Amino acid sequence: MYRHIIVGRGLIGSAAARHLSSWQDGVAVIGPDEPADRMSHDGVFASHYDEGRLTRIYDPVAEWSITATRSIARYPEIEAESGIDFFTPSGFLGIVGSEDVTTRPAVTLARENGGNTTTIDAAAMRELYPFLSLPNDCAGIRETETAGHISPRALVKAQTALAEKNGADVIRSTVTAIDVKGSSVDVTLDDGRVLEAERVLIATGGYTTACKLLPRPVSTRVYARTVVLFRVTDAAAEVLEHMPTIIDKFAGSYILPPIRYPDGHSYVKIGIGTEADAQLGSREELDAWFKSTGSERNRLEFTDVVERLIPVLKDCPERHTDTCVTTYSTSGLPYIDFVAGDHLAIAICGNGKGAKGSDDWGYAAARLMEGGDWDHPIPRYKLKAVFS
């Protein structure tokens, strides 16, 4: 019997496995590798199959700023111990209205948490980032050193490697059923094996409800998201050499600088998440979405947004779409809580920005599983599960 089994080897699950296995033995983490071919794959998918996610201390919500701060502080340790690089400190730029006073408390909070965060006017932005076409009534929030982008693929790989180094069993399978039995939990795998543990943590993101892994469902919303990737020409790459990650509040978009992908090419990525995107409920809907090319409406809209903001991308005609999902809670924070006595717990709901603080959300989940005093700055009650 295992002491702890973590179901889900994404950003939060792999982080929980690393932390928990560094404190206790008897840990296993279960989750398949990324499929080589999505179209022929008949298993589950995950949203970390990508090379770019924004990371920064700046955030208007204190809990997200705090967990990002704690996670970013651990990036060097994780990279050094795993030998896997995943963080690029390219910086961050938030584009907001010049009279937007709501950003001031967030800038103050980021500074208090150690972020090199400043506000700049439109003239300074044009000087620093001449490749941007900006409106006159804008201002910027700039963060350097602690901000940039991570490769979620590489971060999961690093967390998994360190969990294994700590003695955890890494089981590259899919869980088909979970059964709470008194003082233990049975976990059934897709190959028919049944594993037993004292405690089980479910960190399966948008698939949690669809795969019916909980004794009763929690209240979540799972949205289908489309992104557009612009393959960057050599000339455009030179222009965008010092491009930061960007959140444009005018368009509601996030944009990542040129990042090298597994095909050897560099891409600028843009995404915009809205409640107009389709909600996904069933396993069939999720699988079909991951195998699709996304929303054509989104492709056209995102292309127009990014070409107006970064005109040089008009000269990059090769572009394509990709798909992922985002999972939201009712509170805007992850659910990290027991859902069946003190034997079955969840750590789900990145709320569209879970990557940057994923290591610390995994730390919180590991503390919950460990069963000792709650050693985290976010009070437990704020992370309680809400059932539907």
Q: How many CB atoms lie within 10 A of CB 316?
A: 21
**DSSP 8-state class, residue 313:** G
For position 274, what pLDDT does the model report?
78
* Contact between 185 and 179 (Cβ < 8 Å): yes
For position 273, what pLDDT does the model report?
83
For position 275, what pLDDT does the model report?
75
For 208, the token pair is 């949690």
Closest Cα to residue 223, out of 297, 289, 136, 175? 289
For position 180, what pLDDT does the model report?
96
For position 52, what pLDDT does the model report?
97
CA 225 to chain centre: 13
Closest Cα to residue 160, out of 369, 345, 16, 310? 16
Backbone angles phi, psi at 345, to 5 degrees: -130, 165
Region of 114 on the Ramachandran plot (φ > 0 left; ψ -120 to 50 alpha; else beta): left
Average pLDDT for runs of 10 along the chain of length 388: 98 98 97 94 95 98 98 98 98 95 93 96 96 95 98 98 98 97 94 97 96 94 97 98 96 97 97 88 97 95 96 97 97 97 96 97 97 93 96
* Contact between 38 and 61 (Cβ < 8 Å): no
For position 151, what pLDDT does the model report?
98
**DSSP 8-state class, residue 43:** S
Q: How far apart are CA 355 and CA 286, in angstroms?
A: 20
